[in-house]
Amino acid sequence: MDSGIYAAYTGLLARTQALDTAANNLANAGTAGFRAQRDYFSGVLAGGIDQDPETASQVGQSVNGFGVLGGNRLDLGQGEIKATGNPLDLALHGKGFFAIQTTNGIRYTRDGAFSRSPTGVLQTAQDEPVLDANQKPITIPTGAVYVAPDGSISVSTADGSMMVGKVAAFDFPENSALTAEGANRFSANGAKPIPATAAIEQGSVEGANEDAVHGTMQLVLVQRQAEMMQKALSVFNNDFDKTAAEDLPRV
């Protein structure tokens, strides 16, 4: 059988999966701290270039000659930082994540749209406490808040200024250890975080690292590629139908 049909099938499979990725990226282009997913490709079957040619599957070798979607990787590139004027909104410049305490345990995020709870705890929009370097909640008393680039928090009151805590930024030696949970939450899967080198900007929030224009173009591109693969399969199917109708009866 012509290996072209394998190329068409695997191409359609890859483009269908990539279409889901592109649609998700575009849907979250306006989500603070969202990290886009990027596709990578690999062989689909065992028995390709990694095995002895004498024992390797011929089908596997044919299929592995064409790219198929191997999965998704997080794009940890910087998103656009927008000023909000809220002194408790924080944005990260460079590599790193804020640590937050969720109902499922400690999670990591780039979404720095924070606020102060009724009890003074620094928290996310979902009422999740933001953690310091010791992975403990940070309590901020009433007053004018100043956050330094290293995360140190000071509050000015009628009695003067005092240091009240420090927002920590964490990073991971292997970024592949992170797994996305929802739009802008990440699980470390047991990996141990290390101090990050990112600088913190007060009064700003980082947006997604996927803009709507690029996301729309990518979605259209993948849709067109999927349509091309569908047409290629139709051609192969028509050829097989012709063979079955005209040639096989002669055998």
CA distance 230 to 241: 16
Would strands 185-187 and 204-206 be described as parallel, antiparallel, or unpaired?
Answer: unpaired
H or E element in which residue 123 lies: strand 122-123
- pLDDT confidence band for 65 (50 / 70 / 90): very low
pTM of the model: 0.74
Lookup: tokens for 215: 């996301």
Cα-based angle 173, 174, 179 (whole degrees, multiple of 5): 125
Task: Report pLDDT digits (tens) over 155-194.
Answer: 998 888 999 999 999 999 876 778 889 889 999 998 999 9
pLDDT over 70, % of the chain: 77
* Among candidate residues 250, 232, 245, 241, the one with its CA nearest the CA of residue 13: 232
Angle, to 10 degrees, between the axis of helix 212-246 and the axis of helix 4-27? Answer: 160
